[in-house]
Amino acid sequence: MTTTVAGMSVPARWYTDPAIFERERTQIFGRTWQWVGRVDQVSAPGAYFTCEVAGEPLVVVRGTDGQLRALWNVCRHKAAPVAEGSGTVRRFQCGYHGWTYGLDGTLLGTPHFSEGEGFRRADNGLPSARVATWGPLVFVNLDPEAEPLERVLAPVGDRFERYPLDELVFQRDLSLEIQCNWKVMAENLRECYHCPSVHPSLTAAYEVEETHPEPVGDLDIMFIAERCASPTEQRGAPKDAAILSFDRHRVHETLRDRERRGSYYIHLFPNLMLSLGPDHASALKLTPAAEDRVVWSRQYFSYPGLPAADPLDATWEFRLVAYREDKAICEEVQKGLRSRSYVRGWYSTKEPLIRHFHDLVLGRMVEEH
């Protein structure tokens, strides 16, 4: 079956076929910048956290030289991990036979090991992957040939400089597992065509009819304004539209009028969405677990000088309702995608970012289309 048909979406089997899922893992997730953790977790020398990218175990660590590194968390002896969880160390020690490595990956100690023919200590350090940061977020890229993160982000330039990206303070996180292909959820996040039907509360709170979509390079940007400029203007919203009753006077002071009245949603291909609101920010990652399972995880940040918990507390229940609504519809969609009656769907005029997202997916899956 041809992969592309004008005006039509990618084939349904792209959401259900384990072989395509495996190709995506290496060709998309193994070659793009993947958000793995936060800068505050690795601010001190020796601080590290472990993570996984496209099935590869890694450890991100701050060296005594101040450098941030991403090392493969695989001992050169028999492939056991050299680090677990997170913490602070002076060196890594493998839990299996005790080989030790410096924070830059250099092999230091090989207890009770007679260095046999062909073994060279200098060749047996932990290999490193590329690492970069954006605001409070740490990214890793397994592809040595990939474009630098700053070049991927270049299209946005200094457009978001009024947001305090480098000073965001981590507050809390939320994680859900959803029984759908990662692209079903990635698409859901790139349109609000579904909002009036799926999210009545959200629709009362936001101007969902106009998402100001902008496809730019590997980014998809949306801006959605809040319906109410002030908390007193409820405009017939349902009672659970709690976001409308939040005191919006406490917004980040450098923001301009438009930025005070809505949120940007910046999607970095393939699986990160950074939201910048008037009083807080969040980052959402979709981690594919199988062709029909994705882990949706979001971290929330406050802005310096603003009350940490208030913006989130005031809107938490409202958010949970919207997340559950999306989870439920995406799981139904996944069932439909398995139906033999459905081969592929259509793009609406409200879904330009899905079209762009599919172009990016297809552009990466070069070998077989």
Query: Tokens 């940040």 — which residue?
Result: 301
Q: How far is the CB of 58 from ligand FES (least distance, A)?
A: 16
Token readout for 323 is 């997340």
119 scored as a contact of ligand FES (CB under 6 A): no
16's torsion region: left (phi>0), alpha (psi -120 to 50) or beta? alpha
Number of chain residues interacting with ligand FES (CB under 6 A): 9
For 233-261, b where at least 16 C-beta lie within 10 A, e where not — what string? Answer: ebeebeeebbbbbbebeebbeebeeebbb
* Residue with smaller CB distance to ligand FES, 80 or 289: 80
Q: How far is the CB of 208 from Fe ion (least distance, A)?
A: 9
Please report the sign of the dihedral spanned by the C-alpha atoms of residue 240, residue 242, residue 243, residue 244: positive
How far is residue 175's CA from residue 115's CA, in Å, rounded to a whole number? Answer: 46
* Residue with smaller CB distance to ligand FES, 82 or 202: 82
* Residue with smaller CB distance to ligand FES, 81 or 307: 81
* Residue with smaller CB distance to ligand FES, 97 or 344: 97
Token readout for 188 is 């859901």
How far is residue 294's CA from residue 302's CA, in Å, rounded to a whole number? Answer: 26
Among 98, 155, 200, 231, binds ligand FES (CB under 6 A): 98
User: From the list Fe ion, ligand FES, none, which binds 326 (C-beta under 5 to 8 Å, kind-based)?
Assistant: Fe ion
Q: How far is the CB of 122 from Fe ion (least distance, A)?
A: 52
CB 246 within 8 A of CB 237: no
From the list 4-12, 91-99, 144-152, 233-241, the region that binds ligand FES by CB under 6 A is 91-99
Under rule CB under 5 A, which residues in 319-348 are in contact with Fe ion?
Answer: 326
Under rule CB under 6 A, which residues in 50-89 are in contact with ligand FES?
Answer: 75, 77-78, 80
User: Which amino acid does the sequence have at 325?
Assistant: E
121 scored as a contact of ligand FES (CB under 6 A): no
149 scored as a contact of ligand FES (CB under 6 A): no
Q: How far is the CB of 130 from ligand FES (least distance, A)?
A: 24
- Collapsing DSSP to helix, strand or coil, 267 comes out as strand
User: From the list ligand FES, Fe ion, none, which binds 77 (C-beta under 5 to 8 Å, kind-based)?
Assistant: ligand FES
Under rule CB under 6 A, which residues in 323-352 are in contact with ligand FES?
Answer: none
99 scored as a contact of ligand FES (CB under 6 A): yes
Q: What is the DSSP string of 117-153?
A: TT--GGG-SPPEEEEEEETTEEEEES-TTSPPHHHHH
* Residue with smaller CB distance to ligand FES, 75 or 273: 75
Rg (alpha carbons) of the chain, rounded to whole number: 22
Q: How far is the CB of 226 from Fe ion (least distance, A)?
A: 16
Please report the sign of the dihedral spanned by the C-alpha atoms of residue 285, residue 288, residue 292, residue 295: negative
Among 51, 60, 61, 94, binds ligand FES (CB under 6 A): 94
- Collapsing DSSP to helix, strand or coil, 332 comes out as helix
User: From the list ligand FES, Fe ion, none, which binds 96 (C-beta under 5 to 8 Å, kind-based)?
Assistant: ligand FES
- Collapsing DSSP to helix, strand or coil, 363 comes out as helix
Token readout for 154 is 């270049």
How far is residue 52's CA from residue 202's CA, in Å, rounded to a whole number? Answer: 34
Q: How far is the CB of 56 from ligand FES (least distance, A)?
A: 17
96 scored as a contact of ligand FES (CB under 6 A): yes
User: Using CB under 5 A as the criterion, which residues of the chain lie in contact with Fe ion when the complex forms?
Assistant: 326
Binding site for ligand FES (CB under 6 A): 75, 77-78, 80, 94, 96-99
